[in-house]
Chains A and B, each alone.
Chain A
Amino acid sequence: MSELQLSTKHLLGIKYITADDIHLILNTAENFKEVINRPIKKVPSLRDITIANLFFENSTRTRISFELAEKRLSADIVNFSASSSSVKKGETLLDTVNNILSMKVDMIVMRHPAPGAHFFLSNHIDVNIINAGDGTHEHPTQALLDAFSMKERVGNLKGKKVVIVGDILHSRVALSNIFCLKKLGAEVMVCGPPTLIPKHIDQLGVEVEYDVKKALKWCDIANVLRIQLERQDIKYIPSLREYAMYYGIKKSMLDTLNKEIVIMHPGPINRGVELSSDVADSEHSIILDQVENGVAVRMAVLYLLAGKRNLAKT
């Protein structure tokens, strides 16, 4: 590990950070994983930092994970969700954020339905911004925790084969995962119904497969995504039942493979749709490890970005 510092002061997306940055975050996260498994799970690193969690879109897992990460670093936090705020009264994003910043907040963790909202904000404000999901664009901390969990299970990801199954078109997890895995040297394939695979996705250097059985045969790791019913403004699939029949991963499929395979899912799972229950709970699945690692990885991101913050100032 040569670099000890991130190359950027924001985490807007995996696209904007380097492979060195990713390695630094994953290595630092290993140390935080040790911290959160202690009887006293807390360190004082960010005790003088205030973080605002701005969630303009619903979230359970990511918000709790960020909150825990912040608390375990001893940061002060304020939470904000759009449903109970002045956004409803017509305030612009920049005004909302500037109002919060004038109360002396040092970092912002934001989820927003508009792709690029964080990028826009980074041009106007000075504090560190962490993207906790922007529309169908990126979800960088999810990709980082996925990479961390994969590394934990299979070691170095260079040359490993990862397939992302499901709704690639609407998935920010898929896009961030593709950028992250490519930067770490893995081979990536996407698999799903043709209507849910974006056109020209092969330009990102990924392979496309429409048959999930072939995809599973090819891969070492399958990252299975949720069908995002809330983003389906038109019908992309005839029915959930048909999707489950053709793309749902079942125990019987894994049994015929005769190899070790790792199953991942960013949650929340639609049991019986993209994953059958016996697969989600099987020894192949590292879904709960992903959730645990999420806190450690987010601690690493916050810690490293906070380090960047005052260095830039002096």
Chain B
Amino acid sequence: MAKGRQILAPERFGLVLHRLAHQLIENFGLFENVCIVGIQEKGVTLSENLITLIKSEEKKIKSIDFGKLDISFYRDDYRFRAKPIKVSPTDIEFSLDGKQVILVDDVLYTGRTIQAALSALQDFGRPSRVDLLVMVDRRFKRQLPIEANFTGITVDAVDDAYVKVIWNEKPGKNNIKIFSADNGGE
């Protein structure tokens, strides 16, 4: 895979993550009747990192309901894609009835993933409210009227480019890169 251009360096990545965690604490307090649902796979990684941060920042929070959602079976385009989708497990152990749900994904692009996720959520109950948190908002390519409530960074990239959030196993090495159209796509 060709090298992408870094658009968010590891130090700044850490800051953004901290800001998002603080925004969530500010808005949801002790996370009573609130749950976080990460979209497989990168949304789950992002959620897990956020939850760790939230707990270390606000010691009064003992646990946060956390679910993993795979949306492959809800996609309206799964048969039209150039490459097939990898299916990951869904794991939501609690009912969403009456809960405030924070839906988490890494990149918001066309909005179609989020649309599929919203219809998938309905199969687990009726949330009282759904918020969307994304690490990257590519705001000029939306195909549906969907916006994030909490955004890490905003990226204005040409249509065909591919933005990737890279989670590194070593702490403090996470970053975001942008790849040109002919490589790096998943």
Contact = CB atoms under 8 A, between A and B. Distances in A.
Contacts of B120: 43
B84 A45 contact: no
B170 interface: no
A35 B73 contact: yes
B119 to A, nearest CB: 7
Contacts of A43: 73-74, 120, 123
Nearest to B78: A307
Contact of A306 (B76, B79, B87, B88): B79
Contacts of A42: 123
B91 to A, nearest CB: 8
A103 interface: no
Contacts of B119: 44
Contacts of B85: 4
B90 interface: yes
A152 to B, nearest CB: 15
A1 B88 CA distance: 11
Interface in A1-19: 1, 4-5
Interface in A160-216: none
B114 to A, nearest CB: 16
Interface in B31-85: 70, 72-76, 78-81, 83-85
A20 interface: no
Contacts of B70: 31
A40 interface: yes
Contacts of A28: 87
Interface string B123-161: 110000000000000000000000000000000000000
B73 A45 contact: yes
B73 A40 contact: no
Contact of A31 (B75, B76, B81, B87): B87
A239 interface: no
Interface residues of B, number: 25
Contact of B73 (A5, A39, A44): A44
B83 A4 contact: yes
A38 B93 CA distance: 10
- Main SS at interface, chain B: loop
A69 to B, nearest CB: 13
A255 interface: no
B89 interface: yes
Contacts of A34: 89-91
Contacts of B95: 39
A303 interface: yes
Contacts of A307: 78-79, 84
A306 B79 CA distance: 7
Interface in A38-78: 38-40, 42-45, 73
A309 interface: yes
B86 interface: yes
B84 to A, nearest CB: 4
A310 interface: yes
A289 interface: no
A314 interface: yes
Contacts of A31: 70, 72-73, 87-90
Given A35-B73, A311-B84, 6 more contacts: A31-B72, A39-B124, A44-B76, A303-B73, A306-B79, A307-B78
Instruction: Enumerate the 4 nearest inter-chain pairs by beta-carbon distance, A residue then B residue, closest first.
Output: A43-B73, A310-B79, A4-B84, A40-B123
24 contacts: A1-B86, A4-B86, A5-B84, A27-B87, A28-B87, A31-B70, A31-B73, A32-B73, A34-B90, A39-B123, A39-B124, A40-B123, A43-B120, A44-B76, A44-B119, A45-B72, A45-B73, A45-B78, A73-B73, A306-B79, A307-B79, A309-B79, A311-B81, A311-B84
Interface of A: 1, 4-5, 27-28, 30-32, 34-35, 38-40, 42-45, 73, 303, 306-307, 309-311, 314
